[in-house]
Structure 1
Amino acid sequence: MGRAHQHIHVEWRGGTCRVKWWSGDYHENGRKRYESKGGFTDEETATQHGLDQLYEIRHGTHVSNRDGATLMTEWLDDWLGSMDHAHLTEKGYRSKVETHIRPYFKHKSVADIDVIAYRTFRKHVHSKVGAGTAKNVMMLLGMILDDAVPRLIKTSPVERKRKRGKYKKKPRERKRDMLPEAVERLARNAEIYFGYPGYVFIWTMAMTGMRPAELYALTPEYCYPNWPASDPRTDPEEEDRYAEDMERYGKGDGLMPAIRVERQVQHKDGKLQYFPPKYGSYRTLVIPPFLAEMLEKLLASQDREWVFTAIEGGCLGSVAFDYKYWRAIANGESARRGPRVRRPRSAIPEVPSFKGKRLYLIRHGHKAWLDEDGHSRFAVETRMGHEVPGVEGTYSSVTVAMERGIMKTMQERWEGLRERLGQADI
């Protein structure tokens, strides 16, 4: 008997035989841990099966009987416990697991989920939720099953993109060009709804492309005219940047007014908390002179924790802004009393190009403005908080000339609007 056969034992039980093979592991008492499979009708076939298992063990592709019997719900607990993602990402993953994946597979082992089970679940999900949510759920299930290879299953049942079947073009959100006139109407509506902070909020988003949660989190120490002199300087490794910021940005001759994006706000454990910006996209955003004047006026008029305050003075991130504020600002509403505000309020006209649309499209509009004005791709993507891949991302940098160019074209858009509407009207 060869060396491999020393780890295989075949024995007959009734009319069939069973093969046992050493798993490569030991029990706590030091004895070898064996696995087995029965139901064979001849010793040659049983022996070959045992040899196949030993081959897989040597090459790291073997799934033990014990691991193969792992319940899906146990694997989901392990997988969720090993996550290391941003807070909102983890929150979204947990929600999809608990709402869709765990209830469906709660009585199945990981090994039970073959291609047919995968397809059946996909059909089930699409019957319950919209296409976008279903796609995200299937993407998450794919990650979970892929990570189960090779410990719990030999191969993942996830079906990748195939060229079979009829081609379906992905639907794309319809957008209209973002005109300065539309932004001005939104800003005036926001001012009617929650005061001067609302007016400046809309123009700041349009002129910087900041994400909503970044705007909600903006505090005076990271905003013009205070920044960069007021920067808390909490990172010792950033001393060089702090020094360069003082030479490049701020209020004064030769300096560029700017906002520093250092964080966003999100809810966690029932509380509004600070988190790093999405994808760790810390960045400095130069702003045009007219917006610098607005921000200086706003900060001089209030003494609040946040730059853009809600109606009652708190953070916009805590008031369900999209639902309670943005709908009225974009869609319009009749004159009525504001939420928890006793004074009457003027009627808010709708803004047709934004009616029924997302607040986030103002950020998209800023990107379109930068592209229209011909700014370099690297400067544009950096301003939007995106990483530029490849050699371009490695060797490029945002220069003072690029930033001044952005300030110039954004200011020109504002001045063009003033000419068209009449300076007195703005």
Structure 2
Amino acid sequence: MARPPSILPLAAAIAAGLALGIAAPATAVQTHVLSEVFIRLLGWIMAPLVFCMLADGAAALGRHRDAGRTGVSMVLYFGAMSLLSMLGGLVAGVVLEPGIGMAAAGDGGVALAHHGALAPHVLPDWMAWLPALQPNNLAVLALALPFGLAAGLRPGTRLLGWIGAARGALLAATRIVLWLAPAAAFGAMASAVGRSGLVSLLPLLRFVVAINLASVVFVFLVYGGVARLLRLPFGRFLVFLRNELALVASTGATLAALAPLSERLARLGCPRRLVDVVLPFSYSLNLSGTYLYIAMALVFLAEASDVHLGWHELALMFGVGLLSSKGAAGVAGSALATLVATAALLHVASADTVALLVAIDRTMKCRLLTNVIGHGLACVVLAARDGSLDREALGRELGTDQGVFDRS
């Protein structure tokens, strides 16, 4: 089982990184290599792992008559979450007004923007041998799904055994890489503080607070509402995912939680055949935290540029943002790239204003945590929907016997 490191080593690494960033900024900036290597290694492993998970799961799911119904339910659920998160981000931006008055900051804000935009995020030459894979999960899904379905039509073939063996080996490799998570957390924190400092980020603190507040409200209002409809103890569910959430928050990589989250959901009572299909699709199409961030950031950029937003402009943002946000699927750092492209398309802000968010992009842990919670909840919801959820296992793991998902 691929288990993430416990919270204490990660917390200690973050504290040490913070201290180094304050005490020796020049040295701290160089530690970004640690987090870069960690993300590169994960990118190297996760593309074939996602392929094996989906192919194996599709082969098993394809042998069941309910495969079509599960697929339809998955698409509808992901679509509903996407719409709600984009709408929530726009509403939160209009209500909280995080960018109002920021244009008055003038040259100071632009200087901060360029400082963040020019910060190095590349590996040194002596590490050029590391594969710079940034796999797009949509391409992996497009290949793995028909491959798995075709293999499932011939259950006696050795191909399925090879896929299962490869999946096990990749999970073991992921477990080894995850032990590097504290080092990655140390490097990410130290380099962020050393590069920008604490005081230099204060002009953007309002947006950081606003997006975190909006994410918390979305998680408890929307996800909590879904859990309440199914009588799932949502608070206990969040506690159950605490190690995966801590891992993602400290490393800044949602891919770090893919393998351990798969194992945890299987323990929770979600059948493996369903998890291996739903989870890779969720990582590509169910990114509510990212959609919320993109929508709210568009409003923030418009407000920071003194651009008036009427209903027509907001409706255009909603439509264009919903479509363009699908390009953020499965590629590290693509949320910021998608935001920049969307802002340029809508002409809501100048390039200098858009660059303001570069300096704080890696502090936007709220979108990553929201995504991971959404991935886990999606598997539980869809397992309950098709009647394959092991309710006894779920009650046992959450420490409750109060009739979870009792529909009576």
- Given the two structures, how large is their TM-score scaled by the length of structure 1? 0.25
Larger radius of gyration: 1
Q: Which has the higher contact order (CA 8 A, sep 6+)?
A: 2
Higher helix share: 2
- Given the two structures, how large is their TM-score scaled by the length of structure 2? 0.25
Higher strand share: 1
